[in-house]
Amino acid sequence: MSAAVHDVAVIGAGIAGASVAAELARHMRVVLVESEAQPGYHATGRSAAILAQTYGNRLIRALTRASAGFFAAPPDGFAPQPLLSPRGLVRVATAAQVDDLRAMYDDLSDTRHLAWLDAEAMQERVPLLRPGYAAGGFENVDAQDIDVHAMLTGYLRQFRQAGGTVMTGAPVLGLTRSGGRWEIETAAGQVAAGVVVNAAGAWGDWLAGLAGAAPVGLEPRRRTAITFAAPQGFDPARMPMVVDADEAFYLKPEAGRLMASPADETLSAPEDSRPEEIDIAICADRIQTAFDLEIRRIESSWSGLRTFAADRAPVCGYDPEVEGFFWLVGQGGYGVQTAPALSRLAAALVRREAPDHDILSSGVTVEDVAPGRDALAKAKDEEPGKQTKQGEER
C-alpha cells in the first residue's frame, strides 16, 4: 500500500511542473515528483531567459500575451525582485533575407510595439554588427529578460506554502492504475494520486508509456549556447538580444558577458544534453560573420532540449484513452514565457473547470492544445515508428 495519497501527482519539476503544481495546490493535495536532486536541472535551467512577444506561432504568442499580467505583477511575496528587466530583441536581416523578414514583420499584426529599422538605424541600435552586414530588421521593443531562477523558486515557494510536497531524487519508474488512482513507484518510494500530470519535458512520451498511454510524438531538439567576453571597452548591458532573420544564430548580453547560440534544433533522445564541438564551432563562425568581434576564448558552453509536438503547440489536457493521465508537455522554446498562462489553463482543465476568460479571449482554445488533436494524430500516421524510438532512452 502507498504511504501517501494525493489528489494529484505532478511529475517533473521544471517550470511547467512547478507552475501547475503551485496553481493546483491552492485547491488540492498535490505532490511534485522530480528525478533530479534539484528542480529546474534540465530545459528550465538552460534557457536563454528571454520573453519575446514575437516568438513562436499564433498560439504561443497568445499564451505569451495571457502571461503578461503575471510577469508585470506577480502575486504578493512571489519573488524579492522583479521577474523581468528591459532588454529589447532585434531581428536582423542581410540583403538576401530582408524581404522575407519584412513580410514576417507585416504578419505580426497581433504584436504591439514593433519598430522597423533600416540598415542605418540597425547599425546604430547594434553597433557590434559588422558594418555592411545588415540590410534592415525590426525591434520587438517590449522583449524582456526573465529571471528564470526567481520564477521557478517563486512557484516552488507558493506550492510549499499551499501545503504541497516536493520529492526530489525520485525518478518515476512505474505507474499502475487501480481502484481509481495511480500507484506511482519512484526510486525514493511510492506515492498514490488520483491524477498524474505529465510535466516530464523531453521524457513526456516515455513517461506516458509507463501509464500505458500512446505517445503524442514529442521531439526533443538540442540547442547549444556559449558565453565569451565582450570586446574590450564595450559594455553589453544595454545591448538588445540580436536574432538572425532565419534564426540561424542569436547573441545577447549575459551578466557582463555575451551569450550566443547557433539556434540549432538537432533531434535528440531525452537525455542530460551536452553540447557538441561542431555546434560550438558553427556558433562561433556565424557570430564572427555577423558581428565585428573576435571570440578569443569560449568561457562556458551548454545545451538543453527544446521539446516540440508536431504542430509546435503545447500539449495540455487529459489523455483521450487513459483515465486520470494529464499531459503538460511540448512547450518547445517558449516554456518559460508561456508558463503563467499555460499553468492556469492546465490547472483549470485538471480540475475539469472552464479556463479563465482572459486565456480564451487571448485566442487559445482547449482544442488547440488537446493531446488528441488532429495535427498530432496525422503526424504520427505519417511517420510510423519514429516516436517509440525516441522514448526508449530512459
Ligand X SMILES: Cc1cc2nc3c(=O)[nH]c(=O)nc-3n(C[C@H](O)[C@H](O)[C@H](O)COP(=O)(O)OP(=O)(O)OC[C@H]3O[C@@H](n4cnc5c(N)ncnc54)[C@H](O)[C@@H]3O)c2cc1C
Give me the residues that bind ligand X (CB under 6 A), please: 11-17, 33-36, 41-44, 46-50, 171-172, 199-203, 207, 223, 225, 304-306, 331-337
Nearer to ligand X, 97 or 331 (CB): 331
- Minimum CB distance to ligand X, residue 261 (Å): 6
Measured between alpha carbons, how far is 163 from 216 in angstroms, rounded to an integer? Answer: 32
Q: Which lies closer to ligand X via its Cβ, residue 98 or residue 143? A: 143
Q: Given the complex with ligand X, which of 116 and 302 has the nearer CB atom?
A: 302
**What is the distance between the alpha carbons of residues 184 and 162, in angstroms, rounded to a whole number?**
22
d(C-alpha 328, C-alpha 343), whole Å: 9
Give the CA diameter of the chain: 70
**Residue 123: CB minimum distance to ligand X, A:** 25
41 contact partners, CB below 8 Å, separation of at least 6: none
Residue of 281, 275, 301, 158 lying closest to 222 (CA atoms): 275
- Quick one: 13 or 364, whose CB is closer to ligand X? 13
Distance CA 232, CA 3 (A): 59
| Nearest distance, CB of residue 337 and ligand X, angstroms | 4
Q: Residue with C-alpha cell 493546483?
A: 24
Q: Would you say 136 or 317 has its CB closer to ligand X?
A: 317
Nearer to ligand X, 163 or 169 (CB): 169
Q: Are 205 and 216 in contact (CB under 8 A)?
A: yes
Smallest distance, Å, CB 187 to ligand X?
A: 9
Closest CB to ligand X among residues 137, 330? 330
- Judge contact between 225 and 36, C-beta under 8 A: no
CA 46 to chain CA centroid, nearest Å: 10
What are residue 48's phi and psi, to 5 degrees?
A: -85, -5
Beta strands (DSSP E) in the chain are 5-11, 30-33, 50-51, 84-86, 89-93, 114-118, 136-140, 144-146, 165-167, 172-178, 181-186, 189-198, 219-228, 241-244, 250-254, 257-261, 266-267, 300-308, 315-318, 325-329
Give the shortest CB-382-to-ligand X separation in angstroms. Answer: 25
CB of 215 to ligand X, least distance (A): 14
Q: Quote the least distance from Cβ 380 to ligand X, whole Å.
A: 20
Smallest gap from residue 16 Cβ to ligand X (A)? 3
Closer CB to ligand X, 101 or 328, in the complex: 328
**Minimum CB separation from ligand X for residue 233, in Å?**
28
Residue 134, amino acid: A
Q: Which of 314/355 has CB closer to ligand X? A: 314
Alpha carbon 193 to its chain centroid, in Å, reads: 26
Closest CA to 199 of 48, 303, 44: 44
